Amino acid sequence: WNSHDVEAVLTHFRDDVVFSSPVAARLLPETGGVVHGKAALRDYWTTALATVPDLHFDLVAVYQGESLLVINYRNHRAELVNEVLAFDGDLVREGHGTYAD
């Protein structure tokens, strides 16, 4: 992510991925905060990067469950964020960006 290489990040996601985020709701209100499919996820992330050119993440911790991964990080505003990823094999089928109030 810190290199802003959306295509590299997308290699880890299924074509039919579903991703939810309050940031998506803010940037793309028509989605209701839920993005369906890899192409739409690409559009969302590309839009987000265009609005925040200094975007970077500092990893805090990674938690592994059964077919789940939670990545805890600080964003460019020093806010704590959790990204919850559900896997189908090696690829993410569902993801959720979660933020503290």
Q: Please check the confidence at residue 75 and state whether its pLDDT lies above 80.
A: yes
For 40-53, b where at least 16 C-beta lie within 10 A, e where not — what string?
bbbbbbeebeeeee
pLDDT digits (tens, 9 = 90+) for 37-73: 999 999 999 999 999 888 999 999 999 999 999 999 9
- The mean of the pLDDT values for the chain is 95
Confidence of residue 92 (pLDDT cuts 50, 70, 90): very high
Task: Give the pLDDT confidence score for residue 19 in this predicted structure.
Answer: 98
Residue 7: CA atoms inside 13 Å, Cβ hemisphere, count? 0
- Alpha carbon 43 to its chain's center: 12
